């Protein structure tokens, strides 16, 4: 028979156990074998469970200024061209925010079923009618200038296109000279073969020329930049004032990462511009997007500037409209 002292001792032990149990349920972590409770306190993880680590978040891939990663058919591009200190190159000069405000008024009628993505086309490599230190009759813009235009383009929600007038240089090395900028998601190129005069020509004295193969080399380079840097689709415009300026277009191939645009740069009255449009559209490869250029000064010498409604009545429908 157990003595009273023995029972008392066991009672104390039981009480201690109870107090320990209460202590566990109030503040300590329950063991793995403890029953689950419906109380909020019991939702804490067990001491032996592996801590939960939040999955690392992957930043979204770079987007176009208006969102998305594909230019066409999501958007219609409309913009201004220009360069610093030279109104003859276009309205995109001087106070760039004021130019952007004027551009917004000009492009408003083009907004319709698809949003308009504004464009700043900066004449970045400029052809000269005299020899330059490199002997290529052209000069490149410095980084500070390009940054100014890029900052203004971003304030306007616009793409920046670096326009290349190569003079006696080839297009590809001139484009590659701006690779640091082309690694950005909102910078593309515009090639101006009228000013690609070959090894002996003088810009302004003769029309320059390029080939489909040369254009394809630039498109291939841009496509690799897109792939290597996970960029949205790049825009590559080639301007064409006459059929002789771009030849052997069979050498130009489609590039899924590059939106290739043919900008028809005919100058003159509405009738003359439409005639140039029809002629150059006949040879346009099916994967090349049509574009149309208007000149505030040269066009009005022979008649009023074409209205947005007249431009949008062209067949095929222009997907890039540029004002100079």
DSSP class per residue in 85-127: T-GGG-S--SSHHHHHHHHHHHHGGG-SSS-EEEEEEEEEEEE
**By the 8 A CB rule, do 292 and 311 touch?**
yes
CATH number corresponding to 76-323: 3.20.20
- Look up the pTM and report it: 0.82
CA distance 94 to 324: 14
Question: Which is more confidently placed, 66 or 27?
Answer: 66
- Helices within 232-287 (DSSP H only): 270-282
The pLDDT assigned to 197 comes to: 97
The pLDDT assigned to 138 comes to: 97
pLDDT above 80 (res 42): no
CA distance 71 to 158: 12
pLDDT above 70 (res 60): yes
The pLDDT assigned to 50 comes to: 56
Q: Pairing relation of β-strands 159-164 and 138-140?
A: unpaired
The pLDDT assigned to 310 comes to: 98
| Mean pLDDT value of segment 141-153 | 98
């Amino acid at each position: 028979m157990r003595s009273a002292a023995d029972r008392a001792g066991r009672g104390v032990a039981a009480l201690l156990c109870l107090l320990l149990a209460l202590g566990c349920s109030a503040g300590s972590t329950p063991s793995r074998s403890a029953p689950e409770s419906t109380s909020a306190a019991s939702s804490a993880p067990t001491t032996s469970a592996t801590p939960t680590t939040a999955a690392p978040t992957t930043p979204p891939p770079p987007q176009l200024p208006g969102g998305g990663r594909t230019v066409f058919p999501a958007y219609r591009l409309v913009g201004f061209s220009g360069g610093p200190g030279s109104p003859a190159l276009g309205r995109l000069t001087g106070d760039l925010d004021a130019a952007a405000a004027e551009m917004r008024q000009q492009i408003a009628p083009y907004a319709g079923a698809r949003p308009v993505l504004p464009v700043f086309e900066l004449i970045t490599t400029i052809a000269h009618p005299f020899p330059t230190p490199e002997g290529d009759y052209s000069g490149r813009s410095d980084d500070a200038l390009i940054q100014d235009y890029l900052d203004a383009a971003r304030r306007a929600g616009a793409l920046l296109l670096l326009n290349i007038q190569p003079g006696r240089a080839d297009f590809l090395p001139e484009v590659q000279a701006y690779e640091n900028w082309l690694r950005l998601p909102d910078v593309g190129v515009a090639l101006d073969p009228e000013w690609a005069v070959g090894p002996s020509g003088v810009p302004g004295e003769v029309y320059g020329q390029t080939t489909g193969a040369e254009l394809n080399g630039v498109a291939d380079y841009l496509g690799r930049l897109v792939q290597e840097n996970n960029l949205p689709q790049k825009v590559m415009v080639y301007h064409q004032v006459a059929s002789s300026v771009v030849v052997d277009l069979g050498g130009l191939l489609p590039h899924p990462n590059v939106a290739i645009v043919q900008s028809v740069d005919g100058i003159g009255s509405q009738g003359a511009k439409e005639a140039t449009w029809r002629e150059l559209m006949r040879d346009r490869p099916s994967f090349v997007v049509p574009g149309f250029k208007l000149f505030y000064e040269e066009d009005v010498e022979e008649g009023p500037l074409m209205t947005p409604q007249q431009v949008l009545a062209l067949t095929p429908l222009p997907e890039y409209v540029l004002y100079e």
